[in-house]
Amino acid sequence: MSVQQDHNQKYSLGIVGGRGYVGQKLLDLVNQHPQISIEWISSRQLAGQPIQTLIETDATLAIENLTPEDIAERKTDVVVLALPNGLSQKFVNKLLAVKHAPKVIIDLSGDNRFDSKWHYSVSEIHGELINTVKFNKKNNSTILISNPGCYATAIQLALHPIKSWIKGSPSCFGISGFSGAGTKPSLNNDPAHLKDNIVPYQLIRHLHEREVSTHLDLPVKFTPHVAEFFAGISMTIHCQLTMHLSEDNLMALYQQFYQKHPLIQICKEIPLIQQVVNSHNCHIGGFAVNGNHLVLVSCLDNLLKGAASQALQNINHALNLDQTLGLLQDKTGV
């Protein structure tokens, strides 16, 4: 969506948990953003080290170990919570209790994806509604954003345009690079375990299965797998439609649905991880139809479009900036 921007307005951003893969990716994006600057980074493990430990930059910022109370007193415009699941609430409570609460708090974990006070946003689907869902506190208003999961993003972008024609429960088979398992050592990011291997895990009741089913208002079945490559997701989806739609019908429908969203690319061929890794794009395509049975594929970079790039899109929405600002420089005129 095209918005009226104030190119002179500047915003400050701080991040809790910048050490993780997604935190580093988001810091790198913000470092190049024309209207948002990094004010502080909090990481217990890296406290005292320069910002160059995480990203390449000319900035002289040092990483700190900040308490929730410290962060609440910083008067930062945008606070990013890039923490493991279960750790966000103590920071949120302190941030919302102060007079100068942030304009935006965005949680990258799964803690608030089912909380109605938070605006859950796959940017191309929900982003334009962000400013209508706010947490009101006296004279201040903080926009609370829950950033979706990477698998959940790939599935929802693929299914949302046709959800009115889906019968039953789509079946979603996803393969991710091992960066999706995070930096904490486990079998799912152990090179020896993954070598020449594809590893299925959490075969039922995965968080992203519940997440998609809830926010798409459509029951889905999802099975995740991890492989020995670092980044990227390939999602193959089977679904039954209530009517016959040809491959050409589907191509036209998807192209029209996403015509105002430059990060979504619709392709006739089956999309591949190599086409999206290290990019902000999601490729959807490979439409194959047999009667009313549809198979399609959605590919994205789990650390970028599935996490950091999407977070920046959502922050842009909340600040009334173009959703691609800092991602597609040639689209923004800067």
What amino acid positions are annotated as catalytic residues? 150
| 115 vs 135: CA distance, rounded Å | 12
**Distance of CA 101 to CAs 139, 295, 318, Å?**
10, 46, 15
**Distance of CA 150 to CAs 157, 255, 320, Å?**
11, 22, 24
| 31 vs 126: CA distance, rounded Å | 25
Q: DSSP for 146-158, please give it.
A: EPPPHHHHHHHHH
Q: DSSP for 316-334, please give it.
A: HHHTT--TTTTT-HHHHT-
Structure-token pair, residue 279? 């990019």
Give CA angle at 294 (230, 236), nearest 5°: 10
Residues 6+ apart with CB under 8 A from 330: none
Structure-token pair, residue 282? 């999601």
Looking up tokens 């789509």 gives 170
